[in-house]
Structure 1
Amino acid sequence: MPHRPLARALAALVTLFIGILGAVAVPAAAQAAAPVHYVALGDSYSSGVGAGPYDWSGCLRSQKSYAPLWAAANDVDSFRFAACGGAVTADVINDQVSSLSSSTTMVTITIGGNDAGFADVITSCRFGSTSKCTDAVNESKAFATATLPGRLDRTYAAIRERAPNARLIVLGYPRLFETGWCGLLAMSSYKRTILNQAADVLATVISDRAAAAGATFADTRPTFAGHGVCADDPWIRDVSGVIEAYHPNSAGYRDGYLPALNAVTG
């Protein structure tokens, strides 16, 4: 009989201890079990142009792009691949955000390069004179700093409206070139240098507008460093790729883009 109060006290302490453990463990378990509904938006650098092979959508989507690679590695609950080669910001707003919903938990996007005239600038520099290249680069940089920010703001706002509960991750573009010796038929070091400088301007604009929208920016320039066109081990295709020219190859998406995304998703 005299031991009963002590036994009741010990039992109460055990119950309290179990309750505390449960209170800590349940949220952690719930967090671990949180569903991931992932939607990949954007242009050719998200659809996987350069990696191949492609689906029949007309958007040049490749399963070797960073988005499907990330989805497969993380065993997501659902994955929608809406990115489309050639897309500009208006295409994302008009054609791609319909893939989003209030249940979407993660969105990735690369966008803005085509708005800034990526293809025309590259063509001018690859096949035109130095002065023509310089003019094209300067025009693109002026557009990127004056006009592109508003387009990006509208695009990110449209994503937020359709997917209010999602984490938005904006991935940047890599510098395309190494600037050392690259053979007699290559673009000059000067042209490659100013094109890389234009990539830096674009990265700054995109990073700033992503931050303003409360999004996470994933910079791909560090992961691609040393693997541009003219590198010993290039992850960017040269002009010989035609449609795929100056886009990442499969190694670029796997070893350049995917690690940049992993770095911000944990």
Structure 2
Amino acid sequence: MAESSTISLKLLIDTHGKRVLFAEAGKDFIDFLFRILSLPVGTIINLLRKQEMVGSLANLYQSIENLNDSYIQPNQTKDALLKPVSPVSGSVPLLAINDAPAAAVKKFYRCTCSQFAAFVSDDQRAVCPNCSRKMTTSMSYVAPPGGQQVSDEGGFVKGVVTYMVMDDLVVSPLSTISSITLLNKFNVKEVSSLEEKVVNFGVDEAVKLLNASLQSKKVLTDVFLEGMIGIKQWQFANAFERGNLDS
């Protein structure tokens, strides 16, 4: 996904309670949320270092960056810790544009002493115990039968439905009944206090959401309402546009 790409979300906002009740979201946003669980700690710290991180993990990250390569084992690299590869395959909306390296394809090698290799290595520098030659002949990996069918959609969830994302990131398929139940749960008495707002979710918001998800139970509110002029002023502006203000 290009850095300028965004995902569109529809928020239902309780203007009296100054909170986002939930967001209506499609497959892309849900795939992004679920993929957060697969991100290595090093990747998360790299994304959040410019934010005000709570705790000392950022100091560990900085220490590795500052450490001279002469102190690193010859078979290790800093990027293994600073830019680790996620174990989950597939594209990642938004966060994929960062500098995490692409997962390398695992390769295996044998020597040339026999058509039927008795010894296999994943390093071309290895020496065959049988003929003492380096094992440089590439071998093809054959997957076992009965593998699961891969969807053309990709990602984690299906895209045939709209999903509901709560302020605390609880995710479920959207339904009319669940929406009504939610209004009762939050004791929303006046429908007039509810506002719909369509927002764009891009890279900046993705990093803010990641940061808020580690610290808050009102993630959507923190990401989308924080920094506004103020919910009252925003409500005033909406009412003015609709011509509902008293003279």
Q: Which TM-score band (shorter chain)?
A: under 0.3
Which one has the bigger strand percentage?
2
- The TM-score with structure 2 as length reference comes to 0.24
Q: Which of structures 1 and 2 has the larger relative contact order (alpha carbons within 8 angstroms, sep 6+)?
A: 2
- The TM-score with structure 1 as length reference comes to 0.23
The structure whose Rg is larger is 2
